[in-house]
Amino acid sequence: MIISLKEIALLTESEIFGDEGLFINKPARIEEAETGDLTFLYLSQYAKYLESTKAAAIFVKPGFQKTRKDITYLEVKDPNKAFAKVLIHFFNNVSELIGIDKSAFIDATATIGNNVSIGKNVVISANCKIGDNTKIFHNTVLLENVEVGSNSLLYQNISVRENCKIGDGVIIHANSVIGSDGFGYIQNEKKEYQKIPQIGNVVIEDNVEIGSNVSLDRAALGSTLIKKGTKIDNLVQVAHNVVIGEHTAISGQTGISGSSKVGNYCVFGGQVGLAGHLEIGDGVMLAAQSGVAKSITKPGIYFGSPAKDRTEAFRTEGHLRNLENYVERIKALEKKISELEEKLNK
């Protein structure tokens, strides 16, 4: 693939400093770029690769010090976003899957839209509905009454349990489980657990993306709900009756306990844990490994376990780093006090 730099500059609204007639071979990371490639510089820790990169062109911020004369610079406010736009525009192809494989099982009562692709050994159970242009890869299993919208993409070895609803433009990565039973029991008088039937479902709205090896539990009653535009990373646990708002991003290995509600436009780092029955408002950002035991209503950045407001958490962190110093100061005070006492007693 050969792309004109002018076309890239137009797409990204960036300004060319250097060879305007350049053609690019492919996009690449700064440290891996080969002759003719396009790259970008965004985080300062990658600046060290500028001297040696073989890239022909590079996105940089306006006013960047252009020390190398053999590279063409593209100045733009957000070099990383501009680079992403190039990827989105020129490389937005997905894994190949064409037609409905004859080894797939599709129940006679299922409704399959136009231009749907279904891979080998896929199971589409009774009363399922699959929308137009949706692709379902090999060995994925949908139990009865599952609905998948249009233009969605389900990779391999996914398990979707009965009655779950998946919207349009949804991507689910391999080996994820949608609609496994919630972890709900009552203890009898002998302290043995009795299973509470989990008769709800999971609803995934449009344009949601779910990573690989994710577990989204079905609701005990009603629906576990992932609202539109939200992105969930790998190995995340979403318990029964959780609601996650719109355009929220949940990083890998995070766990959200039962019946908690997460707002819109939240961002959670990796390995975050939320207790059950909490309400997390819109615009809450939780740093990685945060543990949240109480509801958070105010937008802002929180971290720690238990999670605190960023200002408070940083202050506590600072004090912890200084503990040694505080202890020394207590010792010094004790020494001085006994010296003073001695003086006074004389």
Query: If binding is defined by CB under 8 A, does position 336 make contact with a copy of itself?
Result: yes
Choice between 20 and 109, CB closer to a copy of itself: 109
In this structure, are residues 207 and 168 in contact, taking their beta carbons and an 8 Å threshold? Answer: yes
Would you tell me how many other CB atoms lie within 10 Å of the CB of residue 312?
13
In degrees, rounded to 5, the angle at the alpha carbon of residue 328 between the alpha carbons of residues 323 and 334 is 130
Could you tell me the smallest distance in angstroms from the CB atom of residue 225 to a copy of itself? 11
**Region from 4-12, 61-69, 110-118, 218-226 binding a copy of itself, contact rule CB under 8 A:** 218-226
Show the binding pattern over residues 75-94: x = contacts a copy of itself (CB under 8 A), - = does not: -----xx--xx-xx--xxx-
**Region from 11-19, 48-56, 110-118, 253-261 binding a copy of itself, contact rule CB under 8 A:** 253-261
The residue annotated as part of the active site, out of 240, 247, 277, 319, is 240
Query: If binding is defined by CB under 8 A, does position 2 make contact with a copy of itself?
Result: no
Choice between 20 and 328, CB closer to a copy of itself: 328
Query: If binding is defined by CB under 8 A, does position 189 make contact with a copy of itself?
Result: no
Show the binding pattern over residues 223-242: x = contacts a copy of itself (CB under 8 A), - = does not: ------x-x-xxx-x-x-x-
Query: If binding is defined by CB under 8 A, does position 307 make contact with a copy of itself?
Result: no
**Region from 5-13, 53-61, 65-73, 315-323 binding a copy of itself, contact rule CB under 8 A:** 315-323
> 131-161 in b/e burial notation, b at 16+ Cβ within 10 A?
bebbbbbbbbbbbebbbbbbbbbbbbbbbbb
Site size toward a copy of itself, by CB under 8 A: 117
Scan residues 133-162 and list those touching a copy of itself (CB under 8 A). 137-139, 141, 143-144, 155-159, 161-162
Could you tell me the smallest distance in angstroms from the CB atom of residue 69 to a copy of itself? 25
Active site residue 240: yes
Scan residues 7-66 and list those touching a copy of itself (CB under 8 A). 27-29, 32, 43, 45
Would you tell me how many other CB atoms lie within 10 Å of the CB of residue 62?
10
Report the catalytic residues. Answer: 240
